[in-house]
Amino acid sequence: MDTHQVELAVFTLFFLLVTVVGFLASRWRRGDLDLLDEWGLGGRSFGTLITWFLVGGDLYTAYTVIAVPALVFGAGSVGFFALAYTSLVYPLGFLILPRLWAVSRKHGYVTAADFVRGRYGSHWLALAVAFTGILATMPYIALQLVGMNVVLAQMGLKGDWPLLVAFLILALYTYSSGLRAPALIALVKDAMIYIMVGAVVVLIPYKLGGYAHIFAAAGPLLAAKHPPAALVLPKSGYSAYASLALGSALALFMYPHSVTAILAAKSGDAIRRNQVLLPAYSVLLGLIALMGLMALVAGLHPATANMAIPMLIEWALPPWFAGFCFAAIAIGALVPAAIMSIAAANLFTRSFYRAYMRKDATARQESQVAKLASLVVKLGALPFIIFLPQQYAINLQLFGGAWILQTFPAIVFGLWQRRFHHIALLIGWIAGMAASTGMEMSLHMKGSTYALHLFGGTYPAYAGCYALTLNLAITILLTLVLDAARVKRLGDATSEEDYEDRVTTQAGGGVEAVAAEF
């Protein structure tokens, strides 16, 4: 057998194994899958460990293993903003997520849009949040497709059909077992990714002469690129670097799929513990990012930067192990794609179907619609692959991020206070969405760092951050204006205690409750 045949054989074996696990998942902790809470949130029953795998499987995706190292391969130090971003995201999650979880449990919210509806009483604002969530998820799913595509292409499978098969399998098992499928597969996937990374970060540097040599050799190679890149971030890159890290961190937990994984937890403390434990994945992310430099030093010339990592793996590892790694990457793209489509489907069901199309929908109808919507959302990802330039796959995630960031004011500030007027939030959102889309278009969808010209200076930064600043400024100003004009505010379905999760732990009783978490 030649290299590609061995790779394909091992790849197929692991892929099938995971598929079987996915189908068995519907029998796991059997619940009534015809209820949206069950199909879409796994019955809100996941403890610390499962949540860790689920959120981890959710956040560390083709973004981590393909897109970030590709950016490091092509642009050097700039790509490392992803590591800073993952260090910033958990302290923030520690503060906001338990509150979102507590209020959602109390009121039966399945999505962030449900929460906004309850908090501000405005169905228009909820609609805006839901729409943004679904829209922003599509390019993120597209990124996962790109990740699978480059792996399949590296094994010599050209064309579109392998991708089609992979997505058919994904669609089918998502449809039949809901969130349980990705949660269980996440266990397998994470084990595989850990094995892959553990081996790769030792074997490849060994082959290349050690980390010191990789860094030393990467410097001149990066400088020779067009446009030139650098091993250490140059001063001109500071503002873009910091804003990309900050914007990505603020955006992450606004995504419907992150909210879904968090709301599926069974306690606030399960979520808090996870914010302490999840950085273990960030170390992996940083090490995988360095593979971009390794590909450079290995002297590889992939057709696009996105191919750098599959090419490096094939170059450095025996075919059977390369096949294993490719399976890990492909499954690592499937799991989040499944969670993302489920989350977007939850949003559609609650915020469009039940709010506008069928107000008296039964739980069974809701679940049916969500299952169908999850299929439609996957299809919605395709145009982003077909019509956008694919120099760096990471841009797909950054587009989505710039959009989803515009829901930050309504969701996060709403968890502590409701000083903002709902109409001000809505108009701020419109301005933010228009601004971020406009900036991306002016960049011809090729990048997400917009150079703002202001008072004679030029300030390059993440378009999403500029748009969020505009959004917030408008929200604050208009709130003052609307309140001064006494424009009517709507009712708040929540109360202050709903945001605290202390009550459940008191009722559950100390140590046993904590032990039961694990």
Residues that bind other proteins in the complex, under the rule CB under 8 A? 77, 80, 83-84, 86-88, 90-92, 94-95, 99, 210-216, 231-235, 237-238, 241-242, 245-246, 272-273, 275-277, 279-280, 282-283, 286, 290, 416-417, 496-497, 499-500, 502, 505-506, 510
Smallest separation (angstroms) from other proteins to the CB of 239: 9
> Looking at beta carbons only, is 128 or 217 nearer to other proteins?
217
The answer to whether the CB of 408 falls within 8 A of the CB of 435 is: no
Distance (Å, rounded) from C-alpha 340 to C-alpha 348?
12
Smallest separation (angstroms) from other proteins to the CB of 23: 36
Smallest separation (angstroms) from other proteins to the CB of 48: 12
Smallest separation (angstroms) from other proteins to the CB of 146: 26
Residue 352 makes CB contacts below 8 A (sequence gap 6+) with 127, 130
> Looking at beta carbons only, is 214 or 327 nearer to other proteins?
214
The answer to whether the CB of 329 falls within 8 A of the CB of 15 is: no
> Looking at beta carbons only, is 242 or 445 nearer to other proteins?
242
| Crossing angle (nearest 10°) for helices 48-59 and 180-208 | 60
At 462, phi and psi to the nearest 5? -60, 125
> Looking at beta carbons only, is 83 or 329 nearer to other proteins?
83
Distance (Å, rounded) from C-alpha 18 to C-alpha 186?
10
Query: Residue 288: which of 71, 141, 7, 10 has the closest Cα?
Result: 71
Smallest separation (angstroms) from other proteins to the CB of 274: 10
Smallest separation (angstroms) from other proteins to the CB of 419: 12
Residue type, 376: V
> Looking at beta carbons only, is 83 or 113 nearer to other proteins?
83
Distance (Å, rounded) from C-alpha 132 to C-alpha 116?
13
| Cis bond before residue 227 (omega within 30° of 0) | yes
Smallest separation (angstroms) from other proteins to the CB of 204: 14
> Looking at beta carbons only, is 280 or 357 nearer to other proteins?
280
> Looking at beta carbons only, is 111 or 282 nearer to other proteins?
282
The answer to whether the CB of 448 falls within 8 A of the CB of 440 is: yes
Distance (Å, rounded) from C-alpha 356 to C-alpha 491?
20
The sign of the CA dihedral 185, 186, 189, 194 is negative
Residue with tokens 């509150």: 99
Smallest separation (angstroms) from other proteins to the CB of 416: 6
> Looking at beta carbons only, is 290 or 307 nearer to other proteins?
290
The answer to whether the CB of 156 falls within 8 A of the CB of 2 is: no
